Structure 1
Amino acid sequence: METNLALLLLFAPFAGFLINIFFGKKISRTLSGTLGTIAVAVSFAVTVFFFLQVSSTKVPVMVDLFQWLTLQNFSVNFSFQLDQLSLLWLMFVTGIGTLIHVYSISYMHDDENINKFFAYLNLFIFFMITLVMGSNLLIMFIGWEGVGLCSYLLIGFWYKNQDYNDAAKKAFIMNRIGDLGFLIGIFILGYLFHTVEFTGMKSMIDNKWPINESLLGVAMLCLFIGACGKSAQIPLYTWLPDAMAGPTPVSALIHAATMVTAGIFMITRLNFLFNLTPDVLEIIAIVGAITSLVAASIGLVQNDIKKVLAYSTVSQLGLMFLALGLGAYEVAVFHVITHAFFKACLFLGSGSVIHALHGEQDMRNMGGLRKVMKITFITFLISTLAISGLPPLSGFFSKDEILLTAFHHNKPLWVIGSIASIMTAFYMFRLVYLTFYKDFRGTEEQKHHLHESPSLITFPLVVLAILAFFGGAISFPGMSWLNEYLAPVIAKPAVHEHLGTTEYILMGIAVAGAFLGIGLAYNKYISKGEVPPQDSEITGVAGVLYNKYYVDEIYTAIIVKPIYAIGSFFKNVTEVAISAFIFGLGKVAVLLGNEGKTIQNGSIGFYLLFFVLGVCSIIGYIFLVK
C-alpha cells in the first residue's frame, strides 16, 4: 500500500508529462492544462496523506524497490525516503506547484505550445520530487540534474527569441559547474563511508566511524559548490536573474519553492556531516551574507519588475545560507517555507500585471494599477509586507530568527544581514509604489485595456497571500511546531527558544529597519513622485548597481573570451592538422599511383618475371617456416 502510494506520488506528474508531450496537440488547450494540473494535485493529495501519517506515527516511510549498484564493498539501493524533512518539502513543492499549474491554465492559454509547456512543468515537478524523496545521494543527483534540464527547457521555452535561448544556456552551463562539485563530493563520501545512503552515513557517524576529517571537509566544500550553483550563491548566481526570460509561472516555480531551494535541502539533509566541518559552515555563512547584501544592493535600482524579484530571491537565498552556515538548519527551512509563500505570490502577481499590460515589464511604464487591479494589488501588498519583515506576517518571524541567530553567533554577519533586510524593504516598496501608485505612465492603448486578471490567475494569488500572512504560525518563538517536527532529522538544533530583553530589542531594531526602508521608498517615489531615469541617464554608483557590478562583463573578459580564444586556437590547429593528414594521404596515393602505372606497359615478359618472382617468394617462405 505505502509503496504504491509513494510511486503514485512520484509518477503522477511523469504521467502528465507523457500525456501532454505525446497527445497534447490532439486535445484542447484547457484540457491540456487541466490534465497537467490534476497530475500535480494527485501528488499533493498523496503527500498530505503521508504527511499526516508520519506526523502521527513519527516513523518515516522507506520504499525499497531494488538494488541498483553493487561494486565490491559498495552498494546503492534504488529507494525512497519519506521522513519529516522530505515530506515538509513535498508539501510546498506539490502544493504551490499545483497553484502555479492552475495559474498557468489561464496565463498560457493563448500560447501555441501550451501542451509542451505543461509537459515541461510536470517533468520539472517529477524531478523535484525525485530529488526530495531519494534515500541516497545518487537518486538525489538524478533529480538534481533533472531539474537543471527542465529549467533549461522552461527558461528557453520561447525559443524564437535568441536572448531567451542564451539565458537558458547560461543557466544550464552555470549549473553544470556547480554540479561537477556536487558529483566530486558524492564520490568522496562514497569512498569514505562505502555508502551514499543517508541513513547509512548517519548511523556510521552516530557510531563514531573513523573518518578522515580533512577529506570530509573537501567533500562538504564540494557539495557546497553544488549548492551554490543550484541555489544561486556567489559566484554562481548570475544565471538566476537571466532566468526571467522564461514565462512568469516558470519564474514562480523555479524561484519560489523548487529548484533554487534544492541546495538548502541538500545541506539540511546532510546536516550531520556539515556539523563535523565547522570551517565549511563558516564559509557557507560568509558567502550567504555577502550574496544577500550584493543581490539586495543590485535590486535597489532595477526597473524590470521580474528582475527586482529575481535579485530579491538571490538575496533571500543568501539569508537562508547564512542560517545554514550558523548551524540553524531549522531556521533556514522556516525561511524557505515562508519565502515559498510570499515569493510565489509576488512572481504570480507580477505576471498578473504583465498580463494586464500585454507584456510590459518596465516599472517606469506602469503606475496607478491598484485602482483597476484590486485583488492583484492587495495580495501583492501582503506579500511585500511579509518579505519586508513586518509583524505579524510570516516573513517577520522567519527573517527575525535568522538575524537573532546571527547576532548570537557572528555580529558582523548580523550587521550585513540587517542592512540587506533594510534594502529589501526599500526595493520592494519601490516596486509597489512605482507599479500600483500615482498615475499610469504607459500608453493610452494600454490604459484603455487595463483590467483585473481572470479568476484562475487571482485565485492562486489569494491562497498564497493568506499563507504569506499566516505562515509564520508554524514557528512562533518559544513554541515552534516546526522545530519539534524537524527534531528527528536535525542533529543539533540551534534555535533560541527563550526570548529575553536582548531578543526583543533586536526584534525592534529589525522592524525599525524595515520601516526605515519603507519610509525612504515612500519619500522618494510617493512624496517626491520620482520616476527612475532612462538607462542612458543612470550613472555613478547607481550605474554600477544597475549594471550588476559588471560581473557578467568580468566573467566574459576573464573566462568566456579566453575559452573562446583557446577553442579557436585548437580548432584552427586541428583543422590544419587534419587537413594536412588527409591531403597528405591523398598526395601519397596519387604519387604511388603515378609511379605504379609506369610498370603497366603491356610487356608479357616483364609480367612473367614478376609472376615467377612471386611464386618463388611463396615457396621460399613455406620452406623457411617449416
Structure 2
Amino acid sequence: MYLILIFLPLIGSITAGLFGRKLGPNGSAIITVSCLMLTFLISLFAFYEVAIIGCPVYINLTTWIDSEMLNVDWGFLFDSLTVIMCCVVTFVSSLVHLYSTEYMSHDPHLSRFMSYLSLFTFFMLILVTADNYVQMFVGWEGVGLCSYLLINFWFTRIQANKAAIKAMILNRIGDFGLVLGILIIFVKYKAVDYATVFALTPLFVNEEFVFLNVNFNLIDIIGFLLLIGAIGKSAQLGLHTWLPDAMEGPTPVSALIHAATMVTAGVFLIARSSPLYEYTPNILTVITILGACTAFFAATVGLLQNDLKRVIAYSTCSQLGYMVFACGLSNYSVGVFHLVNHAFFKALLFLGAGSIIHAVADEQDMRKMGGLKNLVPFTYSMMVIGSLALIGFPFLTGFYSKDVILEVAYGKYTSHGHFSYLLGSVGAFLTAFYSTRLVYLTFLSKPNGYKSVICAAYDSSYQICIALAVLSIPSIFIGFYSKDMIIGLGTDFWGNSIFVLPENMNMIDAEFIPHKFKVLPVILSLCGATSSFLLYSFGSSILFKFKISYLGKKIYNFLNKKWFFDKVYNEYLGQFFFKFGYNVSYKIIDRGIFEIFGPMGLSNVISKKAFYTSKLQTGYIYHYTLLILIGNTIMLGARQFWLLMGGIIDFRLFIIFFISTFFIIKTF
C-alpha cells in the first residue's frame, strides 16, 4: 500500500507522457486524475495507521549505493511528519489535476502538462518519504526540475523562459549549500540515513570542523548549510526573487508550487532535521530572524503589487517566513501545522485567481478589473473565504496556526523571540490590508476594464467550481478540528518524528503570556482589513494624493519594485559576473594564459623553430661545417662547465639558464 502511494503518480505521469498521443487529452486527464485521487485515499489510510493508531512504517526496498563506507538504500520512512505531508500534497495535487482538466482544456499540450504535474507530485512524495538525506535530495532536485518544466510550459514566451531559468539558478545556489551539508554529514558521521545521523548528533556537540580553512562547530556548519538549501527552496529573504516570477507559468502550476509542494520542502527539511537543529542554538536564532524578516518584507511588497497572482505569491513568501521562524523557535510542530493549514487556503486563492483570470479574458492586472462580485458570485465567495483564512480571521483555519506562532514567539522571552513577534504582528496587519485590497479592487470597486470583457465575465465550469468548493471546506474547518491533535498540550501525535530539547519547549509559557499580546495580532488583522476597505472605498482621493506626493512616490517605487532586490542583483551581481566572465575569465585566462602556455602557444613556438631550422638548410658545405663546429663547442663547453661548477651551483639554475638562453635565441 505504501509503495503504491508513492509510485501511482509516477505511473500516471509516464502513461500521460509517453502515450498521450494515443490516449488524447481526455484520456491523459482521466488517468492522471484517477491516479492522484487513489493516491490521496491511500494517504488517508496511511495517516490513520501511522498517525492516529501510532504505528510508524519503515520500508527498506533495496540497496542503491554500496561503496566502502557509503551505504545508501532506497528506503521509505512513514512517520507522523511524513503522512501528514503526504495527505496535504496528494489532496491539493489531486484537486489541481482536476482543475487543470478544464483550465488547460484549450491547450494542445494538455497530456504533457498533466504528465509534468504528476511527476512533480511523485518527486515531492519521494522527498517527504525518504529515510536518508541522499534519497531526499533526489526528490529535492526532482521538484526543482519539474518547477522548471512547468514554469516554462509555455516556452514560446520570453518571460516564461526567464522565470524558469531564474528559478533554476536561485535554487541551484540553495542546493549547493544542501549538498555541502550532506557531504559534511557523510565525512563526519559515515552515514546519511536519518536514524544514524540523529542518534549520533549529541556525541558531536563540541566537535570542530575545518571549512574553507576556518574552524567551525560541526553541528553549526551542518545546520547552516542545510538552512541554505531551505532558503533557496522556501524562498526566504535573499533567494526569494524566483517565487513571484514563477507566476509566468499556468495558474495550476502556481497553486501546486506555492501551496503544497516545492516551497514547503525547505520548512519540511528544517522540521525533519529537528534533532540536529536542537543542538545549534546559534543557527536557530539565525532561522528565527531570517523568517521574521522574510514575513515582514514580503508583506510590505505585497501591499503595492498590481498583478493579481503576484500579490498572492508574496503572501506565500510572507507565510513561509512565519513557518520558518516558528521552526527557529523550536516549535516545529506549530510551523508544520501552519504549513498544512496554509496549503488549503493558498491553493484556494490561486485556483480562485485562475478562475478570475479566465473570466476576464486572461487579464491579471487588478486595476483593470472591478465590479465582478455579481458576475462571478461563486468565485467571489471562494476568494473571500481564502482571503479571510489568510488574514487569520477568527475561527477560520489561518487563525488557529498564525496566532499560535506569534504566541510562542512572545512566550520565548528572548530578544529574537520578541523581534519575530513584533515583525510577525506588523506582517499580520499588512497581510490583512493587501488581502482586502485584492478583494476590493477585483470584485467590489467600480468596473475599470473594457466593457466587452467585463460584460462577458462568467463563473467557470464544473471541474473548477468543484475544486474550489472542496478546498473551501478545509480552509474553514481544518484548523479548528485538528489543532488539539497536532499542537495541543500533551499530544503524542508527533511521536519520534520531531525532537525538541526540554529546555526549548515553551508551549506552556505561550499559554500564559499577557492577554493583550494574545489578542494584538487579531486586532491588527481586523484593523488592517477595515482600514483597507475604508481607504479604498471612501478615501481613494487621499491615497492618490499621497501616491503623487514626493514621499509617496519614493515609498510606492520602493515597495512596487520589491525593495530593488532584482535591480541590485542584476546591476551589481549579474553585471559584475558578466564583465568578469568576459574580460578576465574569457579574454585573459581562456584566450590569454591557456592559449599562450597551451596548445596555441606550443604550436606557434614549434612552427617558428621549425621555420628557422629549415633556414639552416642552405645547401653550402661550409655552412654545415660551421654549424658542426658551433654545436660541438657548445656541448663540450657545457660538459666542462658542469664538471667545474656542478658541485657549487644548483642544477636547477643550470636548467633555468638553459631555458632563458632558448628564449633569447627565440627572440632573435
Normalising by the residue count of structure 1, what TM-score does the alignment of the two structures yield?
Answer: 0.90
Q: Is the 8 A contact 1:477 1:497 kept in 2?
A: no
Q: Which residue of 2 aligns with 1:487?
A: 495
Instruction: Tell me how far 1:55 sits from its aligned partner.
Output: 3.0
Which secondary structure does the structure 1 equivalent of 2:492 belong to?
helix
Distance in 2 (CA, whole Å) between partners of 1:168 and 1:463 is: 30
Distance in 2 (CA, whole Å) between partners of 1:575 and 1:72 is: 42
Q: Is the 8 A contact 2:33 2:94 kept in 1?
A: yes
Which deviations, in whole Å up to 9, do the C-alpha atoms of 1:80-114 show, x marking residues without a partner?
A: 11111111100000111000000000000111211
The one-letter code of the counterpart of 2:207 is: N
Distance in 2 (CA, whole Å) between partners of 1:414 and 1:509 is: 10
- Partner of residue 465 from structure 1, selected from 466, 472, 486: 472
Which secondary structure does the structure 2 equivalent of 1:75 belong to?
strand
The one-letter code of the counterpart of 2:270 is: I
Distance in 2 (CA, whole Å) between partners of 1:433 and 1:91 is: 33
Q: Is the 8 A contact 1:81 1:135 kept in 2?
A: yes
Distance in 2 (CA, whole Å) between partners of 1:194 and 1:478 is: 37
Q: Is the 8 A contact 1:380 1:465 kept in 2?
A: no
Instruction: Tell me how far 1:497 sits from its aligned partner.
Output: 5.1
Q: 1:530 to 1:507 in 2, by over 3 A?
A: farther
Which deviations, in whole Å up to 9, do the C-alpha atoms of 1:462-495 show, x marking residues without a partner?
A: 1111111001124446994695311332212846
Which secondary structure does the structure 2 equivalent of 1:27 belong to?
helix
Q: Is the 8 A contact 2:411 2:513 kept in 1?
A: no
The question of 1:111 aligning with 2:125 is answered no
Instruction: Tell me how far 1:584 sits from its aligned partner.
Output: 7.6
Query: Which moved further from structure 2: 143-152 or 42-51?
Result: 42-51
- Partner of residue 587 from structure 2, selected from 560, 569, 572: 572
Q: Is the 8 A contact 1:228 1:236 kept in 2?
A: yes
The one-letter code of the counterpart of 2:275 is: F
The question of 1:540 aligning with 2:540 is answered no
Q: 1:579 to 1:183 in 2, by over 3 A?
A: closer
Instruction: Tell me how far 1:551 sits from its aligned partner.
Output: 0.7
The one-letter code of the counterpart of 2:479 is: G
Q: Is the 8 A contact 2:308 2:438 kept in 1?
A: yes
Which deviations, in whole Å up to 9, do the C-alpha atoms of 1:184-227 show, x marking residues without a partner?
A: 11111122222111112233347x56761611110000000110
Q: 1:545 to 1:61 in 2, by over 3 A?
A: same
The question of 1:505 aligning with 2:512 is answered no
The one-letter code of the counterpart of 2:443 is: F
Q: 1:408 to 1:56 in 2, by over 3 A?
A: closer
Q: Which residue of 2 aligns with 1:403?
A: 406
- Partner of residue 563 from structure 2, selected from 546, 549, 561: 549
The question of 1:522 aligning with 2:533 is answered yes
Q: Is the 8 A contact 2:204 2:219 kept in 1?
A: no
Query: Which moved further from structure 2: 229-238 or 25-34?
Result: 25-34
The question of 1:124 aligning with 2:120 is answered yes
What is the percent sequence identity of the aligned residues? 37
Instruction: Tell me how far 1:583 sits from its aligned partner.
Output: 9.0
- Partner of residue 560 from structure 1, selected from 553, 570, 574: 574
The question of 1:97 aligning with 2:112 is answered no
Q: 1:532 to 1:380 in 2, by over 3 A?
A: farther
Distance in 2 (CA, whole Å) between partners of 1:379 and 1:254 is: 20
Which secondary structure does the structure 2 equivalent of 1:199 belong to?
helix
Q: Is the 8 A contact 2:332 2:498 kept in 1?
A: yes
Q: Is the 8 A contact 1:256 1:339 kept in 2?
A: yes
The one-letter code of the counterpart of 1:158 is: W
Q: Which residue of 1 aligns with 2:273?
A: 270
Distance in 2 (CA, whole Å) between partners of 1:116 and 1:225 is: 32
Root mean square deviation of aligned Cα: 2.7
Which secondary structure does the structure 1 equivalent of 2:66 belong to?
strand
Q: Is the 8 A contact 2:170 2:239 kept in 1?
A: yes
Distance in 1 (CA, whole Å) between partners of 2:248 and 2:218 is: 40
Distance in 2 (CA, whole Å) between partners of 1:236 and 1:111 is: 32
Q: Which residue of 2 aligns with 1:15?
A: 11
Q: Is the 8 A contact 1:364 1:532 kept in 2?
A: no
- Partner of residue 335 from structure 1, selected from 317, 332, 338: 338
Distance in 2 (CA, whole Å) between partners of 1:420 and 1:209 is: 38
Distance in 2 (CA, whole Å) between partners of 1:249 and 1:210 is: 45
Normalising by the residue count of structure 2, what TM-score does the alignment of the two structures yield?
Answer: 0.84
The question of 1:366 aligning with 2:369 is answered yes
Distance in 1 (CA, whole Å) between partners of 2:541 and 2:242 is: 31
Distance in 2 (CA, whole Å) between partners of 1:530 and 1:435 is: 19
The question of 1:63 aligning with 2:63 is answered no
Q: Which residue of 2 aligns with 1:429?
A: 436
The question of 1:452 aligning with 2:477 is answered no
**Unpaired segments ≥5 residues, structure 2:** 209-216, 620-668
Q: Which residue of 1 aligns with 2:642?
A: none
- Over alpha carbons, which structure has the higher Rg? 2
Instruction: Tell me how far 1:277 sits from its aligned partner.
Output: 0.3
Q: Which residue of 2 aligns with 1:347?
A: 350
Distance in 1 (CA, whole Å) between partners of 2:476 and 2:508 is: 22
Instruction: Tell me how far 1:510 sits from its aligned partner.
Output: 1.7
Q: Is the 8 A contact 1:120 1:154 kept in 2?
A: yes
The one-letter code of the counterpart of 1:135 is: D
Distance in 1 (CA, whole Å) between partners of 2:174 and 2:613 is: 60
Residue correspondence of structure 1 range 71-470 to structure 2 within 5 A: 71-205=67-201, 208=203, 212=207, 214-409=217-412, 410-470=417-477
Q: Is the 8 A contact 1:394 1:469 kept in 2?
A: yes
Query: Which moved further from structure 2: 90-99 or 28-37?
Result: 28-37
Which deviations, in whole Å up to 9, do the C-alpha atoms of 1:603-626 show, x marking residues without a partner?
A: xxxxxxxxxxxxxxxxxxxxxxxx
Instruction: Tell me how far 1:175 sits from its aligned partner.
Output: 0.3
Distance in 2 (CA, whole Å) between partners of 1:584 and 1:73 is: 44
Q: 1:291 to 1:46 in 2, by over 3 A?
A: same
Q: Is the 8 A contact 1:335 1:398 kept in 2?
A: yes
The alignment covers a number of residue pairs equal to 596
Q: Is the 8 A contact 1:438 1:526 kept in 2?
A: yes
The one-letter code of the counterpart of 1:110 is: H
The one-letter code of the counterpart of 1:275 is: E
**Unpaired segments ≥5 residues, structure 1:** 602-626
Q: 1:128 to 1:576 in 2, by over 3 A?
A: same
The one-letter code of the counterpart of 1:83 is: D
Distance in 2 (CA, whole Å) between partners of 1:134 and 1:99 is: 24
Q: 1:501 to 1:177 in 2, by over 3 A?
A: closer
Which secondary structure does the structure 2 equivalent of 1:457 belong to?
helix
Q: Is the 8 A contact 1:224 1:267 kept in 2?
A: yes
Q: 1:502 to 1:582 in 2, by over 3 A?
A: closer
Which secondary structure does the structure 2 equivalent of 1:259 belong to?
coil
Q: Is the 8 A contact 2:408 2:510 kept in 1?
A: no
Which secondary structure does the structure 2 equivalent of 1:64 belong to?
strand
Instruction: Tell me how far 1:28 sits from its aligned partner.
Output: 2.4
Q: 1:70 to 1:530 in 2, by over 3 A?
A: farther
Q: Is the 8 A contact 2:51 2:494 kept in 1?
A: no
Instruction: Tell me how far 1:440 sits from its aligned partner.
Output: 1.7
Q: Is the 8 A contact 2:295 2:424 kept in 1?
A: yes
Instruction: Tell me how far 1:556 sits from its aligned partner.
Output: 1.4
Distance in 2 (CA, whole Å) between partners of 1:112 and 1:600 is: 77
Q: 1:563 to 1:321 in 2, by over 3 A?
A: same
Instruction: Tell me how far 1:503 sits from its aligned partner.
Output: 5.5
Q: Is the 8 A contact 1:230 1:263 kept in 2?
A: yes
Distance in 2 (CA, whole Å) between partners of 1:502 and 1:282 is: 21
